[in-house]
Chains A and B, each alone.
Chain A
Amino acid sequence: MSIEVRNLVKHYTPGVPAVRGVSFTVETGEMVGLLGPSGSGKTTLLRMIAGLEPQTAGEIYIHGRLVDPLPPQRRGVGVVFQNYALFPHMTVFENIAFGLRVQRMRRAEIRERVAELLRLVRLSGFEDRYPSQLSGGQAQRVALARALAPKPSVLLLDEPFAAIDTKVRKELREWVRRVHEEVGITSIFVTHDQDEAFEVADRVMVFHDGELLQFGTPQQILESPATPFVATFVGDVNEIERQVVGGAVSLGPIRLSAHPFQDGARVRVVIRPTDVVVAPPDGPPVGPRARIRRKIAKGPVHAVQVELQDGLVLRAFVPREAQWALHPGAPVSVWIKDYQTFPA
């Protein structure tokens, strides 16, 4: 257990919690993605771990040691800030060497370590540039090298790729993952982008309104979201509220078991678009009749809206290979592969 947080609370203004009683443990060497909507307290959590913001209550342990009384200088936590926060008056070399000079490392050693780090971030030869002469991706890598220079045991990254375009972003995140493994460090990185989190993180935390809703592997979160919020946040899911009748809820012609809810209870049914199977009208598999309303190509799938007989509209993903007539108005049959129920 590299980072352990117990009942962490933060109020910037008394009575308005930004983080409300969060507990979790991150294992050594893990890479954790921190996912949540804007204003949910992700930055606040990171800043508290780094010691940049005092918590209102709760404890933070790093490698089993209580770090609450320690200032940011002595926590051994590296931080990559959202806008990189490179020192504009220092060259790339000086930026990376800053943390080493603070440790009073010998000059020859500093040179060696900086060169090593620049190789790691593939920026050898950029020593004498100023931050204003770097591209966004390069600046990002310098920021990473600078944070890694003093060999922190924990690395915190706050939306490290936010300012970078999608293509470079994809490369960078895979590369950050590699660096994470090479260096053997424990990392938490904040992101808005679920694909990013699921692709590179070992485990993902989902934050909402200052609360940690779920902490698990990408698979756990995708397959068994702990709350409707997690379910809706991680996928663009179908969410339908119904009353339980005869131990089941009905979505038009489709009846789904509502176990363990009692009759009369109101429940929220959450169905991921990938779990809505759309088949040709004559199957297989054969399900209730529906009609295609809209079709949008979306990466490797078609995102379609299917309208059930009573007017209920479900979103579904259909693999591109499905070559049969998916044009709007086409009759199809629909079948629900998996779903979840939550109290309404």
Chain B
Amino acid sequence: MSTVSVLQPAPAAPRRWAVHASRPLTLYLGLAAVGSYLLLLVVLPVGSVIRMALVHGWPGFWHPLTDPLGRAALGLSVTAGLLAAGINTAAGTAVAFALVRGRFPGRRLLDTLLDLPLGVPTTVSGLMLLLLYSPVSPIGAWLAARHLAVAYAPAGVVLAMAFVTLPYAVRTVQPVLAGLDRRMEEAAWTLGASRWRTLREVVLPMVWPGIASGFCLTFSRAMAEFGSVVVISGNLPGQTLVAPVYLYGLLENDDPFGAAAMSVDLLLIALAAHAVAAWLEHRHAARLRGAGAVAGGPGQGAPVSPTARASARPAAGRQAVLHAGRLAAALARRIGRWAAAGVFTWVWLGVMLLLPLAGLISGALQAGVAGFVQSLAQPEAVASLRLSAVVTAWTVLFNVVFGLWTATLLTKHRFPGRWLVSAVADLPFALSPVIAGLALLLVYGPNTGLGQWLQAHGIHVVFALPGMVMASLLVTYPLVVRELVPALQLTGRAAEEAAYTLGASRWRTFVRVTLPSIRWSLYYAVVLTVARSLGEFGAVLVVSGNLVGVTQTAPLYVYQATVEHNMAAADAVSLILASASFVMLLFMQFLRRKGGLAHEH
């Protein structure tokens, strides 16, 4: 059945058909439900951040830059974000190459473990790095003796950002490389081009838009990072204090205007990065799809002369890079290309991933299993884990219902303003978690009209469970929509139309035909939601108030324990969270394979 859907990627005609098929009622109902959901969850909160930033007029944008500390924080965020994205893109491209093309022992294992930073709560990530690099650890001490501090230093900020964004660069480049036609390279070889030259002139030009777009997304995510940075950086104002933490500080000091102004600046930078990524991907797709429509059209003579193109010479600045590449190629020839790729992948992921993980495990079990169990048995620890589970359960429930509803609305209906719904659903991607928390606070907080009204009627949103669920939703909702939309697009109309002609109602068709065909994507979205909301820190921190035993989730508990130097407690809960995310990871891998199969056959 899925063969049919793959072979018929609903072209324009069936889409138009959908207008007739869709009874306006379902469309209006869906629009009303999804619209109000987005209004309450995204539009109002983000809108109030912008409004707050502009209460003093347009200079609001410049406000953070007038404070030297704010300027330093924003500068550090951007610089460290660029660095982390640069490192990850370079290493990530190499790793993606090795994973796609290489055959070396442990390839599948590394491919699976790569997603670990997606599932591990960011505070836990910070803790892992802190355990590894703090001045009291062997590595930290060794580095400190050489004046190479990582913990409580800018290098730590870059490292934390690189750690949490590790999967992004690889996962954006991987499919591009996998889709590359090998015959293109073989053609270059038979024309006499060396492997290095082929890589440079044939492979890279075809994959670089994918790489560059991966860079933009990695940068945006790195800049937004809060939980891990807050733990490892020490947050020294003017030195290691990043913008999201600065923003959080302003919020704590009751300066919502300053916080909102910084938020808007961060949001603008992130949106710009996303826009560039989207543009690159669009352009790339357009070129490789082949401009079949243009073929044979008049006036095809391109203005650039062949000589001008042929004369494009590598600039002097690139010589060094070229030289390094040639050296690496020579080295690879020595020990065998794929052996070299395998070694690199193992070393890179070993240092970046496995070492911190090992540090966490050894830290948690330092006091033996008994100590570990005792740390876990603390009432606060138990309460935090239970609360995390409750928040996650609610988040999954809402995400499944509204995620499905949104994705269905976006794929099975056509209506004016569809792009707007799609854009708004995507918007939270560009939000740093702290900003997401701030945004909710500015709508439902104790100082707003709506917040006070709700409170007067006995409804507690902020500093209570509903606010925490909303914070988790805001962060995970776009993940679900992005996962479900392509899946729903793939389930072509054919099967659904067949069901209609067999007399099945729309609802029955949805439940019996559509849902089963996207079930793997739905499970995947659920797993993603669980992993993210179990670990959500920044957004929850802001809206929960972090009341011990009442609104303290597990990641918050880890944070607090770390700050209070109660490492045993922090380690124990971290290990539980990391194990949970590891299980999620195995699930994800399994689902991806399942889902991949379903797409192929």
Q: Looking at the complex, which of B74-82, B127-135, B170-178, B184-192 is the stretch in contact with chain A?
A: B184-192
A94 x B181 contact (CB < 8 A) = no
Contact of A111 among B205, B296, B307 (CB under 8 A): B307
B186 x A85 contact (CB < 8 A) = yes
A87–B306 alpha-carbon span in the complex (Å): 16
Which B residues are in CB contact (< 8 Å) with A77?
A: 190
Which A residues are in CB contact (< 8 Å) with B290?
A: 88, 131-132
| A-binding residues in B (CB < 8 A) | 181, 183-184, 186-194, 197, 201-202, 205-206, 287-292, 294-296, 300-302, 304-307, 309-311
B206 x A88 contact (CB < 8 A) = yes
Interface residues of A in 55-84 (CB under 8 A from B): 71-75, 77-79, 81-83
| B-binding residues in A (CB < 8 A) | 50-52, 71-75, 77-79, 81-83, 85-89, 91, 93-94, 97-99, 101-103, 107, 110-111, 114, 125, 127-135, 146-147, 149-150
Taking A51-B190, A93-B306 as known contacts, 12 extra A-B pairs with beta carbons closer than 8 A to each other, sorted by chain A number, are A72-B186, A73-B193, A78-B190, A79-B186, A79-B187, A87-B188, A99-B192, A102-B191, A103-B192, A111-B306, A129-B302, A132-B287
* Least Cβ–Cβ distance between A223 and chain B, in angstroms: 36
Decide yes or no: A107 and B190 within 8 Å by CB, A132-B287, A134-B295, A135-B296 being known contacts. Answer: no
* Least Cβ–Cβ distance between B295 and chain A, in angstroms: 5
A74–B292 alpha-carbon span in the complex (Å): 35
Contact of B192 among A94, A127, A150 (CB under 8 A): A150
Decide yes or no: A91 and B302 within 8 Å by CB, A102-B197, A132-B287 being known contacts. Answer: yes
Contact of A73 among B189, B304, B305, B307 (CB under 8 A): B189
B189 x A85 contact (CB < 8 A) = no
Decide yes or no: A88 and B287 within 8 Å by CB, A78-B190, A107-B307 being known contacts. Answer: yes
18 interchain pairs, CB-CB under 8 A: A74-B192, A75-B190, A85-B186, A88-B287, A88-B290, A93-B306, A93-B310, A97-B306, A97-B310, A98-B191, A102-B197, A107-B307, A107-B311, A110-B310, A132-B291, A133-B291, A133-B296, A147-B190
Number of A-B residue pairs having CB atoms within 8 Å of each other in the complex: 115
A73 x B311 contact (CB < 8 A) = no
A98–B197 alpha-carbon span in the complex (Å): 11
* Least Cβ–Cβ distance between A308 and chain B, in angstroms: 46
A93 x B309 contact (CB < 8 A) = yes
A85–B188 alpha-carbon span in the complex (Å): 9
A94 x B302 contact (CB < 8 A) = no
B191 x A128 contact (CB < 8 A) = no
Chain A residue at smallest Cβ distance from B206: A89
* Least Cβ–Cβ distance between A225 and chain B, in angstroms: 34
A236–B295 alpha-carbon span in the complex (Å): 40
Decide yes or no: A98 and B184 within 8 Å by CB, A93-B306, A107-B310, A132-B292 being known contacts. Answer: no
Contact of B188 among A75, A98, A131, A135 (CB under 8 A): A98
A52 x B189 contact (CB < 8 A) = yes
A87–B186 alpha-carbon span in the complex (Å): 11
* Least Cβ–Cβ distance between A204 and chain B, in angstroms: 24
A135 x B295 contact (CB < 8 A) = yes
B310 x A133 contact (CB < 8 A) = no
B291 x A87 contact (CB < 8 A) = no
* Least Cβ–Cβ distance between B577 and chain A, in angstroms: 44
A149–B193 alpha-carbon span in the complex (Å): 13
Contact of B294 among A81, A99, A133, A147 (CB under 8 A): A133
B183 x A83 contact (CB < 8 A) = yes
